[in-house]
Amino acid sequence: MRDLSRRRLLTGSGSLIGAGLLGGCEAPALSRLASPYDWSNGLTFAVQRWLQRHQPLVREFGPESISAVFPTINTTDPDDPDYRRSKAIGFSDWRLPVSGLVDRPGAFSLSDLKAMPTRTQITLHSCEQGWSAIGGWTGVPLAHLLAQVGLKPAARFIVVRSVDGWWDSYDLFDALHPQTILAYGMNGGDLPVAHGAPVRLRVERQLGYKSLKYVSGIEAVERVDGFGKGRGSMVAELGFPWYAGI
């Protein structure tokens, strides 16, 4: 990229935004750009999509690199009666509903997910609060689960909900990335409750707050402006960028 000047990069990025963000990649907040900060978010999204257009993998590490301490923040044990009942019986009755713009809606047990193709990856988790840690994650690629239910042509975003009330959305570019997984294992064992058991999302190309813990539902949709305040995620409503690419 040595011949790509800053001016050319900015000019090209503006063209990407104007051209519909690389043929279908869309940030839900771009229709409400109201400040230079919003424009910078849109620019970041467009440039990241251009740089990652061939879907590169993030760096993976060996087991010797796993952090001795992996911090936990925010919810570490949801105060939800149904969750607590399920936890008490080893999540044997837990189900993950997948709905929306799909051909075959379904509800999947933990055993169902574990019977699907497995991916293990040891990656760097970067938190917006300024810390990072390396952890090993085992789970099923989200792309495989979505293939099982069959995405309809109109589906453009995947909305993920959490037991603790958080929700977020992801365009198909990130949702179908091979390292985006529904993790039920961590560092060679079951996923601990403090880290999101029974299943958490891992979105390795974005900051940690995009990797929701305690996943409780998945929905394929065409638009996300009908959810919450129309910013694409709960964290975006609190002032964080919807797209947190790294």
The CATH homologous superfamily to which domain 57-237 belongs is Oxidoreductase, molybdopterin-binding domain (3.90.420.10)
Pick the closest to residue 28 from 171, 154, 167, 151 (CA basis). 171
CB 216, CB 155: distance < 8 Å: no
Distance CA 14, CA 96 (A): 39
> At residue 1, does pLDDT exceed 50?
no
- pLDDT tens string 40-84: 677 878 888 888 888 789 999 999 999 999 999 899 999 999 999
Q: How many CB atoms lie within 10 A of CB 68?
A: 6
- pLDDT tens string 175-217: 999 999 999 999 999 999 999 999 999 999 999 999 999 999 9
Query: What would the two tokens of residue 200 be?
Result: 């958490």
User: Could you tell me the residue ranges of all domains in the chain?
Assistant: 1-54, 57-237
State the average pLDDT for the chain.
87
Distance CA 193, CA 81 (A): 15
pTM of the model: 0.84
Q: Please give the pLDDT value at position 39.
A: 65
CB 175, CB 152: distance < 8 Å: no
Confidence class for position 17, pLDDT limits 50, 70, 90: very low
Q: Please give the pLDDT value at position 243.
A: 86
Q: Please give the pLDDT value at position 13.
A: 41
**Class of residue 205 by CB neighbours under 10 A (exposed 0-12, middle 13-18, buried 19+):** buried
* E strand or H helix at 140: strand 132-141
Q: Please give the pLDDT value at position 45.
A: 81
Q: Please give the pLDDT value at position 230.
A: 87
- pLDDT tens string 135-173: 999 999 999 999 999 999 999 999 999 999 999 999 999
Confidence class for position 220, pLDDT limits 50, 70, 90: very high
Can you tell me which residue has the tokens 């993976």?
60
Q: Please give the pLDDT value at position 38.
A: 63
CB neighbour list of residue 44: distance below 8 Å, 6 or more residues apart: 241, 243, 245
CB 227, CB 196: distance < 8 Å: no
Confidence class for position 30, pLDDT limits 50, 70, 90: very low
Distance CA 207, CA 3 (A): 29
